[in-house]
Amino acid sequence: MTRWKRAFAYAATTPVMLLGASAVHAADHLDAPALRTAGAGDRDINDLYAFQSPVDANNSVLILTVNPFAGVMNPFGTTSPTTFGTDVDYQFEVDTDGDAVPDITYSTTFAAPVAGQQAFTMLRNGTPFATGTTGVNNAVSTGGMVTAGLFDDPFFFDLVGFNDGFNFTGDDTFAGAAVSAIVLELPSSDFGATNVGITARTVVGGNQVDRMGRPAINTVLIPTARKDEFNMADEANDFAAFGDDVNAAIAGLSSQANADALTGVLLPDVLTFDTTSADGFLNGRRLFDDVIDAELNLLSEGAVTGDLVDGNDLPFQSVFPYLAVPEPAAAGVLMLGGLAVRRRTRR
């Protein structure tokens, strides 16, 4: 294994499964110790997406997912929930002036399940914005739609090959996995700006417990001892508080010059998005963007270009809510240290 591979394998503490006694992670699934506790999946943000609607270029689509491997036993001996927490506030936050301080918050809370559905309320800066139930497309007051429920996990990555010394085979570790998602489509004009920064966060009892902007910032670049601190911090302070850690991590994966060039791009941890552009990552993040290949290439300075998994195991929908419907049964189940991971090979 090359110096870069050894360094990346050490630094990539991204949690999704157990191999033996050690935890291995990916994306932001179970990305920090406080989230790897029984029943914490309903507040664990897996991924955040922001993209121009492929149906109406005047609209923007925001998606956040929680409940990694929903309905499947996680590495800590409990089954990941398939519903949203009734004590969790799920938030999309929008920075409209580039200071990494949110100016607009779309906040969603859920009632307890009744007959398999959960009623929810979405507020915009504290004002009612939408109401509805999971599994249904619900109208938004300014135009657009919002829905929430169980979907196929749109994240794709050969995590097994990554952990096996970068012997990538093109097997998508996340094939067949499900997540809970909130999908919001709304007129981009509601932001009041065309160049915005998007973050997602979960709040419990008034306390922020998880947040995400770009994929894998916390999981790959933040030291294990500071991951919970990062999740609870404000992104406006990222460069001052975590810049040295991120710079050192990138330098260990590639070179100091690469670290100096990328640290100011990756911090603060905000998903920058030009609503007038249909381009993807690093302009927002579309569902089909291969963010792992992009980040492997960036962080390794071209030493590793991809994992051979080029897309999701199921086709995305061409219309709202865009995510794929989860399969009723997995094609296969992979047991790794007590965690069942559904997999399907992409050819």
Give pLDDT, residue 257.
Answer: 98
The pLDDT confidence band at residue 335, using thresholds 50, 70 and 90, is very low
Residue owning tokens 């999704």 = 16
Report yes or no: 281 and 291 within 8 Å, Cβ to Cβ.
yes
Write out pLDDT tens, residues 237-254.
999 999 999 999 999 999
Least confident of 46-60, 65-79, 207-221: 65-79
- Residues 307-322 have a mean pLDDT of 96
Burial of 185 (0-12, 13-18, 19+ CB in 10 A): buried
pLDDT category of residue 75 using cuts at 50, 70 and 90: low
Nearest to 321 by CA among 164, 112, 135, 96: 135
Average pLDDT, the chain: 86
pLDDT at 323 over 70: yes
Residues with Cβ < 8 Å from 322, sequence gap 6 or more?
A: 54, 61, 63, 183, 287, 316
State the Cα–Cα distance between residues 71 and 78, nearest whole angstrom: 10
pLDDT digits (tens, 9 = 90+) for 86-142: 999 999 999 999 999 999 999 999 999 999 999 999 999 999 999 999 999 999 999
Of 63 and 77, the structure prediction assigns the larger pLDDT to 63
Kindly state the average pLDDT of the residues 50-69: 97
Flag whether pLDDT at 346 surpasses 50.
Answer: no
- Ordered by start, the domain boundaries in the chain are 3-342
pLDDT of residue 80: 84
How much is the pTM? 0.89
Q: What's the average model confidence in pLDDT over 185-199?
A: 98
Q: Give 24's pLDDT tier (boundaries 50, 70, 90).
A: very low
* pLDDT attached to residue 37: 64
pLDDT-derived band at 304 (thresholds 50, 70, 90) equals: confident
Give me the pLDDT at residue 39, please.
65
Q: What pLDDT score was predicted for residue 19?
A: 27
Above 60 in pLDDT, residue 347? no
Is residue 340 scored above 70 in pLDDT?
no
